């Protein structure tokens, strides 16, 4: 499956800097059992009604609970949570 995390940053943050930090953090996600790949995309249309960043974790279906309890996921929430205005979580088949 693909686990999507779609983020809208709060107004006034340095979106490019945050995207770089997200890429650095998520570089080790494939070390978590069941996670095969990570894609990170930045929005290219600067409109107010757009989200800013999409993280796609390609994983085995049963790897989601391992992801939820991983140190990386906990760090993601604690380090970036205050910079997020909204987020959408979506899971799909590959």
Per-residue pLDDT of the chain (94 residues; tens, 9 = 90+): 999 999 999 999 999 999 999 999 999 999 999 999 999 999 999 898 999 999 999 999 999 999 999 999 999 999 999 999 999 999 999 7
Predicted structure pTM score: 0.94
Q: Which residue has the tokens 């979506």?
A: 90
DSSP, residue by residue, 33-87: TTEEEEEEEE--S--TTS--EEEEEEE-GGGHHHHHTSHHHHHHHHHHGGGEEEE
For the stretch 20-38, pLDDT in tens is 999 999 999 999 999 999 9
Question: Is residue 93 classed as helix, strand or coil in its secondary structure?
Answer: coil
CB 69 within 8 A of CB 46: no
């Amino acid at each position: 499956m693909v686990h999507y995390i779609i983020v809208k940053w709060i107004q006034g943050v340095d979106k490019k800097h945050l995207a770089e930090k997200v890429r650095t953090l998520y570089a080790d996600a494939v070390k978590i059992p069941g996670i095969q790949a990570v894609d990170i995309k930045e929005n290219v249309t600067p409109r107010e009604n757009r989200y800013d960043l999409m993280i796609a974790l390609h994983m085995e279906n049963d790897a989601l609970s391992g992801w939820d309890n991983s140190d990386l996921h906990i760090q993601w929430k604690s380090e970036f949570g205050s910079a997020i205005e909204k987020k959408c979580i979506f899971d799909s088949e590959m």
